[in-house]
Structure 1
Amino acid sequence: MKKIIFVDNPNECLEEIKQLIRIVYEGFMALSHDYGYHINNVFGDAAKGKVEIYELRDSINYRIRSANLHFYLLLIQKAEIERRFTAMLEKDPTCFDGFWGSNPYFENAADEIMAIYDSIIFHLSSCFDYLAMLTQYVFGKNPQTKLQWITLVKHCYNPNGEFSGRKFVANIKKVDADFVSKFNDYRAELIHRKKSTSFANVSLKIKSGRGKVITQFECSEKIKSNLKKIISQDLDYCVTFASFKLIKETLLDISLVLNGMYDEFRENYKPHTPIIKQGGFQIVSMNPDTGFAESPALSNWEKFMEYKKFQQITL
């Protein structure tokens, strides 16, 4: 059985993703605070229903957490398949022998794993469309426009477009070129042209004779090709490990875009002049050293910048 990289410490991977989700949420909180301080004083508008910027923020957070939940379910299902196969072998050591061509037990197991994997792909891909809508809402000329990611990227490449000169444009271009465009093509292929089980091969290893069974749902060359920016083409991976890397990459790419928005607010908006709405109230943070009002987002941004400690390393 060849060496396949897999999630050998599930709790460690789950904890890493949990920490990144918390950090990214600090970034979204910071963005909404900067929006309320610099662009549109929405503080206190909750009585009219949840303000849309908070809805968009929470929609992205929902997609991220849903992907993480399905990653957890993927790990659980892999363990359940191994338990099932172990029990089958203990009852009949020849239960996997004698099949011509494909093995139906392996095929059914692959279907179970890849069905969960598909959900991870779909949730993660949706994050970027929500991020495009949030970008349009905060910085666009028509905030209510429901922008898709691909359209946002086109705007960013337009030298005369509405985002021309914005600090976050270079970050969006980089994220799209390095990951999102290829990832969205892959998502479209899964939906419209080929089911996911065509992308994984199942192998089985038995420890100590008829003891514990270990299954590996190996990524095909097709998966590795579509994810070549985050996993090496020269190594072999289990679908569980590829899923972990996908979630982490998505969180880091979202963070890079948010970092560009942080730069935009710090460089192109006046730090001590909050927007005041007549009859409303404004939330500010007072700088103890200068005595000037500042955006309440700054403490959230400081926590958010911890994302840089998690920079992706391709394996």
Structure 2
Amino acid sequence: MSEILFIDEPQEKLDEIQSLIKVVYEGFMALAMDYGYHINNVFGQSKDGKHEIYELRDSINYRIRSANLHFYLLIVRKFEIENRFAKMLKEKPTVFNGFIMGNPHFEMASDEIMAIYDSIVFHLSSCFDYLAMLTQFVFGKNPQTKLQWITLVKHCHNNKSEFANRKFVENIKKVNSEFVSKFNDYRAELIHRKKSTSFANVSWELDSGKVTTQFKCSEKIKSNLKKIIDKDLEYCISYASFELIKQTLLKISHVLNGMHDEFRENYIGHAPKMNNGGFQLITMNPETKFAESPALGSWKKFMEYKNFC
């Protein structure tokens, strides 16, 4: 049996994802600021305390952070299962012996892990529908339209659509073909047709009583995640979950990068939108003495996402 790729330093992976989340959030901050500077001066405006551009931004961030929370819970649950098995073995060393048709203890543990994994999938997949709504709100003719990702992709493939000449169109098409299309099919299958499965590899040391578990991805999972993991290798669920979260964040970043290019190339940098009697946030370029979008600082921080690729 080939070696299973697993996370041997969980805190390092948790820290890496947390760092990437912070970088991606800078991109959403920048997008909202560019919207306020170039399209609709929302600074000082609010709806029940928060303008819709910020609600949409924060909705995506909520989904991302929820997926990250479940990744943490998955790692914690794995250790809890190992402690539970160790206690069972201490009380009865033969507790796992004698099962012909599969060990129910291992199967229950696997289901616990997969329930958390499924939540990661659902949260991450919904990020792209929120991203589509945010795209429509910022760049669409009808901002209030609740656009789904699949509809946004169709618009991007239509050279007569309202998005046809936008710089981010190719980014969206690339992200969809390389990742989101297959990922959304996978989510639909989990919801409507078949649950996720993994296989528990459990080992224990008789002398110390230490138990080690590895929940191996099924061939079905590897097939559905083949855009981000190698189908010829063996992975544990925690490792696959880490890659799934990381790649989702990088794909979102690629779309945001296209939106950055749209604002830089197709909007006048020193012509902020002004409201009668309102105020506008700007930065001043010390060399040109012209006003610039306050988003530029956040965009610079956001571009650090390329260091994670």
TM more than 0.5: yes
**Residue 210 of structure 1, CA deviation:** 5.4
Q: String of CA shifts for 1:199-252, please: whole Å, max 9, x gaps.
A: 211111224655211111100111111111110011100000000001001100
C-alpha distance in structure 2 between counterparts of 1:66 and 1:130, whole Å: 14
Structure 1 equivalent of residue 227 of structure 2 = 229
Amino acid at match of 2:82: E
Does the C-alpha gap of structure 1 residues 204 and 2 become closer, same or farther in structure 2, counting only changes over 3 Å? Answer: farther
Q: CA deviation at 1:102?
A: 1.6
Structure 1: which 5+ runs fail to align?
A: none
Matches for 1:108-119 after TM superposition, within 5 Å: 108-119=108-119
Q: RMSD over aligned Cα, in angstroms?
A: 1.1
**C-alpha displacement at 1:47, in angstroms?**
6.8
Report the equivalent of 2:97. 97
Output aligned runs, 1:1-315, within 5 Å. Answer: 2-46=2-46, 49-196=49-196, 199-207=197-205, 209=207, 211-311=209-309
CA distance in 1, matches of 2:78, 2:245: 18
Letter in 2 for 1:127: C
SS in 1 for 2:146: coil
The TM-score normalised by the length of structure 2 is 0.98
- Identify if the C-alpha distance between structure 1 residues 102 and 208 changes in structure 2 by more than 3 Å, giving closer, same or farther: closer
Give the Cα separation in 1 of the matches to 2:154 and 2:16.
Answer: 33
SS where residue 203 of structure 1 aligns?
strand
> Which amino acid in 1 is paired with 2:98?
G
1:132 CA displacement: 0.2
Q: Deviations over 1:110-132 (max 9, x none)?
A: 11101111110110011000000
Contact 1:89 1:210 in 2 (8 A): no
Find the residue that maps to 2:4 and give its secondary structure. coil
Q: Deviations over 1:7-61 (max 9, x none)?
A: 1111000000000000000000000000000000001103763111100000000
8 Å CA contact retained: 1:132, 1:147: yes
**TM-score, normalized by length of structure 1?**
0.96
- Give the distance between the partners of 1:235 and 1:97, measured in 2 at CA: 29
Distance (whole Å) between structure 2 residues aligned to residue 45 and residue 272 of structure 1: 22
Q: Residues of 2 paired with 1:96 and 1:7: CA distance? A: 25
